[in-house]
Amino acid sequence: MKDLIDALPGISMPVGEVAHRLNTMWQAETGGSPSEFRASQMNVVLHLGPDVDAVEAVKRFNELIRFAQRYPSRIIVLCPGASKADRSMRAKLFSQCYIGDSHREMCCCEALILGHQSGDCAQLGNQVSVWLESDLPTYHWFNRVPGRQIEAYFDNLLVGVRRCIYDSSLESEDLMALDWPDRDRVGDLAQARLLPVRQAIGQYLSGYPIEELCRGLGSIHIRYSTGMSGEGARLMEWIRGCLGDCRKCDDPSSSCYSDAGCCSLRADYDVGECDESDCRLTLEFCYNDGRYFRWKMLSDGNLGQIEASLGNFRENLTTRVKALGAEQTIAEALLF
């Protein structure tokens, strides 16, 4: 059985030769000063887990290459399962130049790919540190890496990393529950993909005072399609955070005041998989006085639908929910 590194593009070479080849190859590629086309802004480490197959590995690699075309980066890909008899590491070097409408729009991408044994934490950290551009910030993307392995990297591989990201819709465990050294520096790609959803919902609900949205709120229901469990969980967290900003719930003159606390704090919150075939994500507010708010992301196209009765009339609207591209999602999770 082939190792994961064999599925990725690049030229195989000894690990110790990669840095030297990297320093000399751009002169030949561009015919001019290499710094003119490869002014990297950051290091990005793509860390593949043991359950990643060849198809998924190539997909993640290509997504990161597209990101690097917009945000010039040195890419380092970590692939588990080196198969040399002595269990030593393997390496590949990938480079490619992308030319826009003019020669001046050339962008050169480089990826250093390392095959390794998953348990070699200290050795892996040492090798990655040699390959990093030391004067640039480093970001780390975990893809199906078990939580216990991630925690083993806290004191070596992740030292100095500006931000770690993962995709909660792909992971089999809640990585946010790990004992991260700094939880504020951990991002979720599922949360990033929700940006256009939050914009569409927030734009509509911003037309109502927060105390009116909290008054009489009985329950909130979120349903998600297969493969979008992370989006469902992150959407509910966002909604609860927004409703928690009702500053008038302790004011006896407020419409959402009661001895039991603000209505939004006492509401039932429910997240589950969707039974409908025509939607990807839904959100519903149910009120004790018959009011309601329903939002649905349609399965075909980039459209959403709102049905609401929050005031004196009912509304039925179509909203634009243009999905982010993979490179935009990575940028949102890493940088914002």
Q: What is the 3-state secondary structure (H, E, C) of 187-242?
A: EEHHHHHCHHHHHHHHHHHCCCCHHHHHCCEEEEEEEECCCCHHHHHHHHHHHHHH
Identify whether 187 is part of a domain.
no
Residues recorded for the chain: 336
Q: Are residues 34 and 139 in the same domain?
A: yes
Identify whether 172 is part of a domain.
no
Q: Are residues 315 and 241 in the same domain?
A: yes
pLDDT > 60? residue 81: yes
Q: Are residues 149 and 23 in the same domain?
A: yes
Identify whether 174 is part of a domain.
no
Domain end: 104, 136, 161, which one? Answer: 161
3 state DSSP class of 21: helix
Domain end: 161, 187, 203, which one? Answer: 161
How do residues 254-301 score in pLDDT, each as one tens digit?
Answer: 555 555 456 777 889 999 998 877 779 999 999 999 999 999 998 777
CA atoms of 301 and 253, how far apart (whole Å): 45
- Report the greatest alpha carbon distance in the chain: 75
Give the torsion sign (CA, 127, 130, 132, 137).
positive
Q: Are residues 142 and 226 in the same domain?
A: no
Q: Are residues 156 and 205 in the same domain?
A: no
How do residues 9-46 score in pLDDT, each as one tens digit?
Answer: 999 999 999 988 887 776 655 455 555 556 689 999 99
Q: Are residues 59 and 136 in the same domain?
A: yes
Q: Are residues 152 and 228 in the same domain?
A: no
Q: Are residues 43 and 107 in the same domain?
A: yes
How do residues 131-151 score in pLDDT, each as one tens digit?
Answer: 999 999 999 999 999 999 999
Edge-to-edge strands, sheet with 315-320:
268-273, 217-224, 279-287, 292-298, 303-309, 315-320
Identify whether 308 is part of a domain.
yes
Q: Are residues 17 and 150 in the same domain?
A: yes
Tally the domains of the chain: 2
CA atoms of 156 and 143, how far apart (whole Å): 18
Lowest mean pLDDT among 66-80, 225-239, 248-262, 309-323: 248-262
Identify whether 59 is part of a domain.
yes
Q: Are residues 35 and 109 in the same domain?
A: yes
Domain housing 95: 4-161
Q: What 8-state DSSP symbol labels residue 233?
A: H
Q: Are residues 91 and 199 in the same domain?
A: no
Q: Are 131 and 112 in contact (CB under 8 A)?
A: yes
Question: Measuring CA to CA, which residue among 78, 145, 110 is closest to residue 11?
Answer: 110
Q: Are residues 243 and 292 in the same domain?
A: yes
Domain end: 161, 184, 214, which one? Answer: 161
